[in-house]
């Protein structure tokens, strides 16, 4: 008789939380490196930041599926895992960005534009963190829809 082990709720949610935290670390490191070292006003390299969650969430689901899932893994579970990891990563990443701009002293690129009051508000630490949060949550939703199609597993 063959026993098919499958994942537990604890394995599922610990993978979601750990993946989200590691995603925020990767995004933060990439953001700081690209922003401080490679930032050019019209550079396409900076857009790589938006592909990191897609790659990381794909790796997370592939790891979880191959490590813990030996029976059916539904589209809904794959989608939820990917989306929750993306949201956790986005929230932590936005918090790190806010801390970097508000307290650590990372300089805004506001000097590239006119120094009006409206521009200062648009490039404030709070506005930057909120905009990155919204962008990354929306991207996580789309990435999760795509990734879950390939991650589901039927008996």
User: What tens digit of pLDDT does each residue of 67-84 get?
Assistant: 887 777 888 888 999 999
Higher-scoring residue by pLDDT: 7, 20: 20
The first and second tokens of residue 11, run together, are: 């394995």
Angle at 130 between CA 57 and CA 103, to 5 degrees: 105
DSSP annotation of 101 reads I
- Model confidence band, residue 152 (pLDDT cutoffs 50, 70, 90): confident
3-state secondary structure (DSSP) of residue 153:
strand
Could you give the dihedral angle defined by the CA atoms of residues 84, 45, 95 and 78, in that order, rounded to the nearest 10 degrees? Answer: 0
CA 22 and chain centroid, separation: 9
- DSSP H helices, 3-74, are 9-37, 52-68
Q: Residue 153 pairs with which residues in a beta bridge?
A: 73
- Model confidence band, residue 1 (pLDDT cutoffs 50, 70, 90): very low
Residue 36 has pLDDT above 80, yes or no: no
Higher-scoring residue by pLDDT: 117, 61: 61
Residue 25 has pLDDT above 50, yes or no: yes
Distance in angstroms (rounded) separating the CA atoms of residues 99 and 132: 13
Residue 27 has pLDDT above 70, yes or no: yes
Half-sphere exposure of 47 (CA within 13 A, CB side): 4
Query: Of 21, 3, 5, 4, which Cα lies nearest the Cα of 13?
Result: 21
- Model confidence band, residue 150 (pLDDT cutoffs 50, 70, 90): confident
Residue 94 has pLDDT above 90, yes or no: yes
Burial of 43 per CB tally in 10 Å (0-12, 13-18, 19+) = exposed
Question: Which pLDDT value is given to residue 34?
Answer: 82
Question: Which pLDDT value is given to residue 26?
Answer: 94
Residue 58 has pLDDT above 80, yes or no: yes
Question: Which pLDDT value is given to residue 120?
Answer: 63
């Amino acid at each position: 008789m063959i026993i098919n082990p499958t994942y537990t709720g604890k394995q599922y949610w610990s993978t979601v939380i750990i993946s989200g935290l590691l995603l925020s670390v990767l995004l933060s490191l990439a953001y700081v490196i690209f922003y401080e070292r490679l930032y050019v006003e019209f550079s396409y390299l900076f857009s790589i930041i938006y592909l990191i969650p897609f790659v990381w969430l794909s790796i997370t689901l592939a790891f979880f599926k191959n490590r813990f899932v030996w029976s059916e893994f539904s589209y809904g579970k794959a989608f939820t895992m990917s989306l929750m990891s993306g949201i956790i990563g986005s929230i932590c990443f936005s918090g790190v960005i806010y801390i970097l701009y508000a307290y650590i002293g990372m300089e805004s690129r506001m000097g590239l534009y006119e120094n009006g009051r409206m521009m200062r508000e648009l490039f404030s630490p709070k506005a930057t963190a909120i905009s990155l949060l919204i962008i990354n949550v929306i991207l996580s939703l789309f990435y999760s829809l795509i990734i879950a199609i390939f991650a589901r597993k039927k008996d």
